[in-house]
A and B are shown apart, each in its own frame.
Chain A
Amino acid sequence: EAGVAQSPRYKIIEKRQSVAFWCNPISGHATLYWYQQILGQGPKLLIQFQNNGVVDDSQLPKDRFSAERLKGVDSTLKIQPAKLEDSAVYLCASSSLDGYTFGSGTRLTVV
């Protein structure tokens, strides 16, 4: 089966600019997650979707981050405006009962 697709792979922006990431999960996986992984740390959950509804966004900095999954399939994560500390890898994952399947991530550098 096809894996989790993410784009772009890399993005460099200046602080205060906006950026968007896209994720296409494994077909049929109802649950989709966005994680932030800062260098040297494990992934930290930003938001969890079940179909097109938000299950958990308690760790999402809502003043600058937003995410949507309008049709219950693809998802986008947006940051506006970006800060230097947002530099990280943004990982999308979809899940079955056994565990997560992650995409390759988007590496964001904010300068």
Chain B
Amino acid sequence: TQLLEQSPQFLSIQEGENLTVYCNSSSVFSSLQWYRQEPGEGPVLLVTVVTGGEVKKLKRLTFQFGDARKDSSLHITAAQPGDTGLYLCAGANTNAGKSTFGDGTTLTVKP
């Protein structure tokens, strides 16, 4: 069983601060996705990374895939209350194949 560990489990910060959350595994993945989930809704895909060392930017969010394709990080610059939510990472080993999810980081950004 491939496991993804996310840290920290909970993070509470003030608006305007920067933060980084992590997703680690002992297994290699062909691709890794990051999702954000708000209460009462399903996860929404933010980004997919497929190449070791790849960095993708989405406005104030920066995603990095580890060189060995076992880990990933999500950095948010100048966090806003709208960034509040559960951030989930998921790894897959085949294109459009099943993904294994971590248990997420719950982020709260206080105004």
Task: Please determine whether chains A and B interact with each other in the same assembly.
Answer: yes
State the A residues within 8 Å of B (CB): 4, 31, 33, 35, 40-45, 48, 55-56, 91, 93, 95-105, 107
Given the interface pairs A40-B103, A42-B102, A43-B101, the reply to whether A104 lies near B44 with Cβ below 8 Å is no
Chain B contributes a number of interface residues (CB within 8 A of A) equal to 22
Please, which residues of chain B bring their CB within 8 A of the CB of A96? 96
Contacts of B33-57 to chain A: CB distance below 8 A? 33, 35, 40-45, 48
List of B residues within 8 angstroms of A91 by Cβ: 42-43
Bound-state CA distance A102–B6 (Å) is 21
A-B pairs with beta carbons under 8 Å apart, 18 shown: A33-B98, A42-B88, A42-B103, A43-B101, A44-B101, A48-B98, A55-B98, A91-B42, A95-B96, A96-B96, A98-B48, A99-B45, A100-B43, A101-B45, A102-B35, A102-B42, A102-B44, A104-B41
Instruction: Decide: B43 and A43 in contact? CB cutoff 8 A.
Output: yes
- Give A35 to B98 CA distance when docked, in angstroms: 11
**B binding-site residues for A, Cβ under 8 Å:** 4, 6, 33, 35, 40-45, 48, 88, 90, 95-96, 98-104
Q: Which residue of B lies closest to A56 (CB)?
A: B98
- Most chain A C-beta atoms within 10 Å of own C-beta, residue among B4, B35, B40, B99: B99
Bound complex: CA of A91 vs CA of B43, how far in Å?
A: 9
- Whether A99 lies near B98 (C-beta < 8 A) is no
Q: Which 7 A-B pairs have the closest CB atoms?
A: A102-B42, A42-B101, A99-B45, A42-B103, A99-B33, A43-B101, A95-B96
**Measured between C-beta atoms, what is the minimum distance from B65 to chain A in Å?**
14
A41 touches B40 (CB 8 A): no
Give, as a whole number of angstroms, the nearest-CB distance from B84 to chain A: 16
Query: A104 and B101: CB pair below 8 A?
Result: no
List A contacts of B45 (CB < 8 A).
Answer: 98-101
